Amino acid sequence: ELCIEFGTPEDAAVLTEIIDPYRGELIVAAWGVCCLGAADRYRSMLQAQSGDDVGSAESARAARELEAAVGIAAP
């Protein structure tokens, strides 16, 4: 989220590559106490930041589908 707010498109592209292996998974912290939603949601925001509008839309769709499947309301 900090990269999306303050980072450059280049920063976003690097972080997109880092988060790629987590496509289709939820981001869970604190031993399951906190679920931040689908990794694809963050990929979508990073892809939009780096100018990949098509990839961003695909990742957003994947995030919505995963979150709906597990009963997480989209923000």
**Once rounded to an integer, what is the mean pLDDT over residues 24-29?**
93
pLDDT over threshold 70, residue 9: yes
Please report the pLDDT score of residue 1 as a whole number: 86
Distances (CA, A) of 30 to 23, 27, 75: 20, 10, 21
72: left (phi over 0), alpha (psi -120 to 50) or beta: beta
H helix runs in 1-75, sequence order: 2-6, 9-19, 39-49, 53-69
**Once rounded to an integer, what is the mean pLDDT over residues 29-34?**
83
Q: What is the pLDDT of residues 58-68, one digit of tens each?
A: 999 999 999 99
